[in-house]
Copies of this chain bind each other. A is one copy, B any other.
Amino acid sequence: MTDPVVALSAFSTIPDGGLDDSEPMNGRVYATLRAQLMSGAFEPGEVVSIRSLAEKLGTSTMPVREALHRLIGDRALETRANRTIAVPLISRAGFRAIAEVRVALEGLAAERAAKHLSEAEIDRLDALTQGMAEAARLNEPQRYLALNTDFHHSIYRAAQNPVLLDLIEKLWVQAGPQFNFLFHTVGVPMRTIAPHEAIIAALRAGDGAGARQSVQRDISESIPDIVETLPV
């Protein structure tokens, strides 16, 4: 099975997943923790302490506290009333709020991407989708998730709007911990690849409006499955 952290490194803003030695430690810690959050390594509601993370990562507390504060700014972590830092518990309403914004942003990104994607890149999207079908058949949820992430992210990157890409990533990081943790514990069902094939068809036709609609439907249809598994 594909290592989820490594697989998700393609999703990180920072090349090489933040493993560059010349980069400051705080940035590397940030990239590492972000990837771990996205891969469901932390349980929603879990308290993360600066000192314990520093010990686990083999550094002093300084880089960790800077990284944690950045993640708090990203709403990927939150400070509680006691001022302890924890992984947010996302409510059903909160998840729907995120989904509503995702529909707007990722729809826009898909529409713009339709004008920039080359035939070769669309072929790659097709390969990713076929890989998802295989992962679903073999019941490999981690691989399924990694491929799905790569699929969507590749499209949004093709929109060639760094601001848009940045905000979409922020939303994924916000929902990621809850989503991915549920995915590999409770077990969210892996859906069919039909929505992705609709997206690919629209992209191949250069149909921006169609790509937008297909992506928006893909997101909207996935909401109930996930909301259902949320406790609140």
Contacts and interface: CB of A to CB of B under 8 A. Distances in A.
Contacts of A163: 75, 94, 97-98, 100-101, 171, 174
A101 B108 contact: yes
Contact of A26 (B69, B94, B101, B166): B69
Interface string A123-154: 00000000000000000000000000000000
Interface of A: 24, 26, 65-66, 69-70, 72-75, 83, 94, 97-98, 100-101, 104-105, 108, 161-164, 166-167, 170-171, 174
Nearest to A99: B163
Given A163-B171, A166-B75, A108 B104 contact: yes
A41 to B, nearest CB: 21
A63 to B, nearest CB: 11
Contacts of A167: 101, 167, 170-171
A97 B105 CA distance: 13
Given A100-B164, A167-B170, 17 more contacts: A26-B69, A69-B70, A70-B73, A73-B74, A75-B166, A97-B164, A98-B163, A100-B108, A101-B105, A101-B108, A101-B164, A101-B167, A104-B104, A104-B105, A104-B108, A167-B171, A170-B170
Q: How many copies does the complex hold?
A: 2
Q: Which residue, A72, A167, A171, has most C-beta atoms of chain B within 10 A?
A: A167
Contacts of A65: 66
A97 B26 contact: no
A167 B102 CA distance: 11
A69 B63 CA distance: 11
A73 B66 CA distance: 11
Contacts of A174: 163
26 contacts: A24-B83, A26-B69, A66-B69, A69-B69, A69-B70, A70-B70, A70-B72, A70-B73, A73-B73, A94-B163, A97-B161, A98-B163, A100-B108, A100-B161, A100-B164, A101-B105, A101-B161, A101-B163, A101-B164, A101-B167, A104-B104, A104-B105, A163-B171, A167-B167, A167-B171, A170-B170
